[in-house]
Chain A
């Protein structure tokens, strides 16, 4: 029995990893395609029909590239910093429920790799750890651009973790649990976006800032810092940063789906399909934003986070608590 549970866990992990990494790889293609169409271009269309072999070609290219380590770099930190970003992004996927419990030969099999009773905090903890990949990668490269990118990244991600966490407090209050499975179960009647539109918007904005994408891509601002914290990385190490970013986008999509859009719940289609569809809405929105908005200035970024998002998030918590107390009588 113990052995069976272990095999089942491995199986679930393998399936989730495959789907997640596959989606992330193809998200790169989708982003380039969509960005092309937003700019009235075609985007990649040479590798196979509609460029469907592009991610594979990119992967082969990345693996075959020379792995350079700049002179004066802190070699150990430089080597392991990219892994932090990718690992952390992938680990978050462990607590995302992707279907209702399956019943197989009388056993109740939860369709989530690990139903932590503090799943939401686990998500926040991991996303707060991903700062290290950025800051250390920037520091270890021994380059001005990287260092500036790393410093910017550290400051930005620490600042936007606060609204990210605060915007989730009303969700926890409504669901009465930190567990992501319970949060999805609490949205059986209606998704939380209906009652928490402000928290939804704050979470989305903070999530964009956490994933360091436009208009918050100051850590890797191309025209100011070359590529910011990953300027000096090449080959597979750069690819790890890249994969980390896209996995992070997918995971954020899944988290938005779980926290605000009802997770895997939906009519007609199978639950997994619903989750993937909902999860893909966020990357699409991020790509759309990338095609639309220019980059913020650094002081604007900080003002926006500290002086606007955090007070609104706090007020939202207060209002939610008041309404809940009032409804309870």
Chain B
């Protein structure tokens, strides 16, 4: 096992463990924290694969913005989750199903290539190349996604806008 592989397995186990902790915690803040660890771990994984740009975007967007908003909401509304099971049956079934599928794929991959060679070449994706790749080849997808995001933003704005109450008509 190379150093590269060792780091990969270490990181992977950390990610898996923290994700597992995240979905089984009763305390939502702890769950959010474990998820943040998991995101930072996957960012390190990106770094390992030679995409520091993606890694840092992962940290900025997922760990730094989205999870903060999650945390914010959890702190604000303080949901009470002390009752009920952590994983009800209707969530457990799809989980087992997908877990089984991933396990099958993993086993198949491992069996077909027992030497464990890396399928992908490690390549350093510098910001410039990344930008060229995204904006030159996939500009349409980028535009569509940004439009969808804009629509989402406008929808949120519309839903969240304070409704001006009409003047109540004077009873005659």
Question: Residues on A close to B: CB < 8 A?
Answer: 74, 77, 116-118, 121-122, 124-125, 128-129, 131-132, 135-136, 138-139, 147, 150-151, 154-155, 157-158, 161, 165, 177-178
Q: What are 24 A-to-B residue pairs whose CB atoms are below 8 Å? A: A74-B29, A77-B29, A116-B52, A118-B53, A118-B127, A121-B56, A121-B57, A121-B60, A122-B56, A124-B56, A125-B60, A128-B59, A128-B60, A131-B64, A135-B71, A135-B75, A136-B29, A139-B71, A147-B75, A157-B68, A158-B65, A158-B68, A165-B60, A178-B53
A131 in complex: contacting residue of B33, B52, B56, B68, CB < 8 Å: B68
Does A118 lie within 8 Å of B56, measured CB to CB?
yes
Does B127 lie within 8 Å of A128, measured CB to CB?
no
Contact partners of B11 in chain A: CB under 8 A:
none
Interface residues of B in 106-161 (CB under 8 A from A): 126-127
Contact partners of A161 in chain B: CB under 8 A:
64-65
Does B29 lie within 8 Å of A154, measured CB to CB?
no
Contact partners of A121 in chain B: CB under 8 A:
53, 56-57, 60
- Closest-by-CB residue of A relative to B74 is A139
Does A117 lie within 8 Å of B52, measured CB to CB?
yes
Q: B36 interface residue, CB < 8 Å from A?
A: yes
A154 to B68, CA, bound (A): 7
B25 → A minimal CB distance (Å): 12
The A/B interface has a contact count, at CB < 8 Å, of 73
Having A77-B33, A129-B64, A135-B68, one finds 15 other A-B pairs with CB under 8 Å, namely A74-B29, A116-B52, A117-B126, A121-B56, A121-B60, A125-B59, A125-B63, A131-B68, A136-B33, A136-B71, A139-B29, A151-B75, A154-B71, A157-B68, A158-B72
A158 to B33, CA, bound (A): 17
Does A128 lie within 8 Å of B65, measured CB to CB?
yes
A165 to B65, CA, bound (A): 13
| Dominant SS among interface residues on chain B | helix
A138 to B29, CA, bound (A): 12
B77 → A minimal CB distance (Å): 11
Q: Knowing A118-B127, A135-B68, A158-B69, say if A128 contacts B63 (CB, 8 Å).
A: yes
Does B52 lie within 8 Å of A125, measured CB to CB?
no
Interface string of B45-65 (1 = CB under 8 A from A): 000000011001101100111
A194 to B52, CA, bound (A): 31
A154 to B63, CA, bound (A): 13
Q: B96 interface residue, CB < 8 Å from A?
A: no
Contact partners of A138 in chain B: CB under 8 A:
75
Q: B76 interface residue, CB < 8 Å from A?
A: yes
Contact partners of A155 in chain B: CB under 8 A:
72
- Closest-by-CB residue of B relative to A118 is B52
A118 to B69, CA, bound (A): 25
Interface residues of B in 84-105 (CB under 8 A from A): none
B68 in complex: contacting residue of A117, A118, A122, A132, CB < 8 Å: A132
A131 to B57, CA, bound (A): 16
A165 to B59, CA, bound (A): 14
Q: Knowing A118-B127, A136-B29, say if A151 contacts B72 (CB, 8 Å).
A: yes
A131 to B70, CA, bound (A): 12
A125 to B65, CA, bound (A): 10
A325 → B minimal CB distance (Å): 15
* Of listed A132, A138, A177, residue having the most chain B CB within 10 A: A132
Contact partners of A122 in chain B: CB under 8 A:
56
A132 in complex: contacting residue of B36, B53, B60, B76, CB < 8 Å: B36
- Closest-by-CB residue of A relative to B76 is A151
A236 to B48, CA, bound (A): 35
Contact partners of A116 in chain B: CB under 8 A:
52
A260 → B minimal CB distance (Å): 21
Q: Which 7 pairs of residues, A with B, have the shortest CB-CB distance?
A: A128-B64, A121-B56, A125-B59, A125-B60, A118-B52, A125-B56, A154-B72
Contact partners of A178 in chain B: CB under 8 A:
53, 127
Contact partners of B33 in chain A: CB under 8 A:
77, 132, 136
A264 to B65, CA, bound (A): 32
Does A154 lie within 8 Å of B57, measured CB to CB?
no
A224 to B98, CA, bound (A): 50
B151 → A minimal CB distance (Å): 18
A276 to B65, CA, bound (A): 31
Contact partners of A158 in chain B: CB under 8 A:
65, 68-69, 72
B164 → A minimal CB distance (Å): 18
Interface residues of B in 5-46 (CB under 8 A from A): 27, 29-30, 33, 36
